[in-house]
A = this chain, B = another copy of it.
Amino acid sequence: MTRRDLLQAMFQAAIGAASPALCVPPHLPPPPAGRTVVVGAGKAAAAMARAVEEHWTGPLSGLVVTRTGHGVPCRRIAVVEAAHPLPDDAGMTAATRIVHLVAGLSADDLVLCLLSGGGSALLALPAPGLTLAEKRAVTAALLRSGASIGEINCVRKHLSAIKGGRLAVAAAPAPVVTLAISDVVGDDPAVIASGPTVADPTTRADAIAVLRRHGIAVPAALAAGAETPKPGDPRLAAATVRVIATARQGLEAAAAVARFHGWQPLMLGDAIEGEAREAARVFAGIVRSIRDHGQPVAAPAVILSGGETTVTVRGRGRGGPNTEFLLALALAGVAVDALAGDTDGIDGSEDNAGATIAADTLHRAAALGVDGAAFLADNDAYGFFAALGDLVMTGPTRTNINDFRAILV
């Protein structure tokens, strides 16, 4: 097995460990006496709905919204595709229908809510007084600012009529069971897809502070809006959440592949954040330590990590945090084989999941007349790896446990 094949096998193992077909069935609740309504949103939502259909005994109806291209055919649950990361009319229509589907149910019924990363943007129902265009503008500004997903989702909850527990409020008194695939650092259900069925510990004041911190204008509707339901709110008493897949499970699956092939995993966890290019310099230092001193582990080792690095866009190129991480790692001069990719198959807003580097990446680039430093300065890591033919393309994986990085030392 080549090093690149090993990297690909670890990435596939991480994605596979989080696949809805594997993770959903063990967590399905018993059927209720009354009706079961399935709702949901996220890049995994259609695949999760399919897994429910295949294992559910009893009647079932509902609607889930997923990102364009991430749908799979379902027989009893409607699947709507909508835009991501900027919400569109399809997402807004779907969110409106979801709120209507769960309204008027009784305590004998059940709402099964299927959430995953991307759900926050897909479930777009502007709060009263706000237009979808305003919501889009604020979201776009946040995505450009280098804000964390936690910060972005705090704002989203307070611009929304469905997020931050409001969907569960709409469903009360029906019990709500939420199954969530986590794409957020810390696996907090209140953050995944902006927690439409979970009490919201953040406040309007927090959301306003995030916008101010990043120099973004505060919409008037946010300053004047209603608060989200807070922990202890009786309207959420019948709502429970199970996180059924996490980045850590994916990393453990990759570690098993590594061990099988004789590489010792160094697990740096599922919570790595920071500017992608600077995180790469930190990782380069750890590579040097393993290579030069055998610390904290002896080579051959594979540094595995997840989490979510960010890119503060200053140039005009294309690329997400995973390709930017890899380009910076190559430029740090440690000459390693590595793969970084988003487990949803989409690095940033591109059509690639990530890319790979090898010891000869910069030499090959130079032979092609491709200046890595210039591409990095222009935030054009996508262009760099496209020129080298080293993009990793998976297509939509229909799950999402955040970023995945593997570095062979």
Q: How large is the interface on A (under 10, 10 to 19, 20 to 34, 35 or more residues)?
A: 35 or more
Q: For chain A, residues 268 to 310, give those with C-beta under 8 angstroms from any C-beta of chain B.
A: 268-275, 278-286, 288-290, 292-293, 295-297, 305, 307
Specify which of B267, B279, B280, B297 is in contact with A289 (CB 8 Å cutoff). Answer: B267
Flag if A273 contacts B268 (CB, 8 Å): no
Flag if A268 contacts B293 (CB, 8 Å): no
> What 1/0 flags go to A301-344 for Cβ under 8 Å of B?
00001010000000000000000000000001000000000000
Residues of B within 8 A of A296 (CB): 266-269, 296-297
CA distance A282 to B295 in the complex (A): 18
A122 CB within 8 Å of chain B: no
Flag if B284 contacts A273 (CB, 8 Å): yes
Q: For chain A, residues 48 to 85, give those with C-beta under 8 angstroms from any C-beta of chain B.
A: none
CA distance A213 to B286 in the complex (A): 25
CA distance A305 to B279 in the complex (A): 15
Residues of B within 8 A of A31 (CB): none
Q: Which residue of B lies closest to A280 (CB)?
A: B274
A185, A279, A373: most-surrounded residue (chain B CB, <10 A): A279
Residues of B within 8 A of A288 (CB): 185-186, 269, 271
Flag if B282 contacts A248 (CB, 8 Å): no
Residues of B within 8 A of A268 (CB): 285-286, 289, 295-296
In the complex with contacts A267-B296, A268-B289, A296-B296, A278-B274 CB distance below 8 A: yes
Flag if A274 contacts B282 (CB, 8 Å): yes
Specify which of B267, B275, B280, B295 is in contact with A269 (CB 8 Å cutoff). Answer: B295
CB distance from A268 to the nearest CB of B (A): 6
In the complex with contacts A293-B248, A373-B213, A274-B281 CB distance below 8 A: yes
CA distance A307 to B267 in the complex (A): 21
Flag if B272 contacts A275 (CB, 8 Å): no
In the complex with contacts A213-B373, A373-B213, A270-B282 CB distance below 8 A: no
Q: Which residue of B lies closest to A303 (CB)?
A: B296
Residues of B within 8 A of A373 (CB): 213
CA distance A292 to B273 in the complex (A): 16
A267, A271, A290: most-surrounded residue (chain B CB, <10 A): A271
Flag if B272 contacts A285 (CB, 8 Å): yes
Residues of B within 8 A of A270 (CB): 289, 293
Residues of B within 8 A of A281 (CB): 273-275, 279
CA distance A282 to B373 in the complex (A): 22
Q: Which residue of B lies closest to A294 (CB)?
A: B267
Q: Which residue of B lies closest to A187 (CB)?
A: B292
CA distance A353 to B375 in the complex (A): 37
A268, A278, A282, A292: most-surrounded residue (chain B CB, <10 A): A282
Specify which of B248, B269, B293, B332 is in contact with A286 (CB 8 Å cutoff). Answer: B269
Specify which of B285, B286, B305 is in contact with A285 (CB 8 Å cutoff). Answer: B305
CA distance A160 to B278 in the complex (A): 31
Flag if B295 contacts A271 (CB, 8 Å): no
A-B contact pairs, 20 of them (CB 8 A): A248-B293, A266-B296, A267-B293, A268-B285, A269-B285, A269-B289, A269-B292, A269-B295, A270-B289, A271-B285, A271-B286, A272-B285, A272-B286, A274-B280, A274-B281, A274-B282, A274-B285, A278-B282, A296-B296, A296-B297
